[in-house]
Structure 1
Amino acid sequence: MGVPTPSTHRVIELDALRGLAVIGIVWMNVYAFALPHQAYHNPVVYGAEHAADRLIWAVSFVFIEDKFRTLFAMMFGAGCLILLEREAARPVRKHYARMVILVAIGIAHSVLLANNDILRGYAIAGLALPFFVQLSHRALYAVAIGFVGVHVGGGIVVFGSSVLDFYAGRMGTDASLFAERNFGADEPAVRHALQLGSENFHGRITRRSADILSQLREVAGSVPISLAGMTLGMALWKDRMLAREWRTFRMQRLAAISAALSLPVLLLLAWWMADNGFPGALVGASALVLSAPFDTLLALAYAALAMAFFSASGRLTSQLACVGRLSLTNYLMTSVILAALFASWGFGLFGEVSRSQAFALSFVPIAAISLWSPFWLKHFGHGPFERVWRLSARLLS
Structure 2
Amino acid sequence: MVALDALRGIAVGGIALMNVYIFALPPAAYFNPAVAGSDGPLDWMVWAVSFVFVEDKFRSLFAMLFGAGVAILMERARASGAAHPVREHVARMVVLFAIGAAHAILLANNDVLRLYAMAGLVLPVFLALNGRWLFIAGAMLMAMHAVGGSLLAFLWLTAEPGSTLALLPAQTFGADPLALDYARVIGTEDFGARVVRRTMGFFAALQTQVPGIPSTLAMMLAGAGLWRAGLLRGVWERSRCFALAGRMALVALPPLAAMMVLDVQAGFAGAMVGPVALFWSLPFDLLLAVGYAALVMGLFAARDGALRRRLAAAGRLSLTNYLLTSLTFALIFYGWGLGWFGMLTRWQAFAVALVPITLMLIWSPLWLARFRQGPFEWLWRSVARGRLGPILR
With the length of structure 2 as denominator, give the TM-score of the two structures. Answer: 0.95
Q: Which residue of the other structure, out of 195, 201, 211, is the alignment partner of 1:205?
A: 195
SS of residue paired to 2:336:
coil
- 1:69 maps to 2:37: no
Partner AA of 1:157 in structure 2: L
1:163 corresponding residue in structure 2: 157
Counterpart of 1:106 in structure 2 is 100
Partner of 2:287: 297
> Do the aligned residues in 2 keep the contact of 1:74 with 1:234 (CA within 8 Å)?
yes
**Preserved contact between residue 312 and residue 318 of structure 1 (Cα < 8 Å):** no
Partners of 1:137 and 1:238 within 8 A in 2: yes
Aligned length: 383
Task: Answer yes or no: is 1:245 the counterpart of 2:235.
Answer: yes
> Would you say the 8 A contact 1:159–1:175 is kept in 2?
no
Is 1:337 the counterpart of 2:305? The answer is no
Pick one of 28, 35, 51 that aligns with 1:38.
28
Please say if 1:29 is aligned against 2:29.
no
In 2: Cα distance, 1:346 partner to 1:312 partner: 41
Preserved contact between residue 98 and residue 389 of structure 1 (Cα < 8 Å): yes
RMSD: 1.2
Structure-to-structure mapping, 1:361-380, within 5 angstroms? 361-380=352-371
Asked if 1:352 corresponds to 2:346, the answer is no
Which residues of 2 match residues 140-219 of structure 1 at below 5 A?
140-165=134-159, 170-219=160-209
Whether the aligned pair in 2 keeps the contact of 1:12 and 1:312 (CA below 8 Å) is: no
Say which of 123, 130, 136 aligns to 1:136. Answer: 130
Q: Which residue number corresponds to residue 277 of structure 2?
A: 287
Tell me the secondary structure at the aligned position of residue 52 of structure 1.
Answer: helix
Provide the C-alpha distance between the structure 2 equivalents of 1:369 and 1:284, rounded to a whole number of angstroms. Answer: 32
**Any conservation in 2 of the 1:180–1:186 contact (CA below 8 Å)?**
yes
| Matching residue's letter, 1:338 | F
Measured in 2, the distance between the counterparts of 1:161 and 1:257 equals 34
2:384 alignment partner, one of 351, 373, 393: 393
Q: Deviations over 1:63-102 (max 9, x none)?
A: 0000000000000000011001111311111100000000
1:146 Cα offset (Å): 0.8
What is the aligned-residue identity percentage?
48
Matched to 2:352, the amino acid is L
Per-residue CA distance 1:162-181 (angstroms, 9 max, x = gap): 2234xxxx422332211111
SS in 2 for 1:222: helix
Taking the aligned partners of 1:123 and 1:349, their CA distance within structure 2 comes to 32
Query: What's the CA shift string for 1:96-125, capped at 9, x where partnerless?
Result: 000000000000000000000000000000
Greater Cα shift, 308-317 or 130-139: 308-317
Deviation of 1:260 after TM superposition, in Å, equals 0.4
1:120 matched to 2:120: no
Deviation at residue 312 of structure 1 after TM alignment: 4.4
Deviations 1:258-277 (A, max 9, x none): 11011011011111111221
Match for residue 48 of structure 2 among 49, 58, 69: 58
Long gaps (5+) in structure 2: 388-393
Q: Does 1:86 align with 2:95?
A: no
SS at match of 2:158: helix
What amino acid maps onto 1:386 in structure 2? E
Which SS does the other structure have where 1:379 is aligned? coil
Gaps of 5+ in 1: 1-10
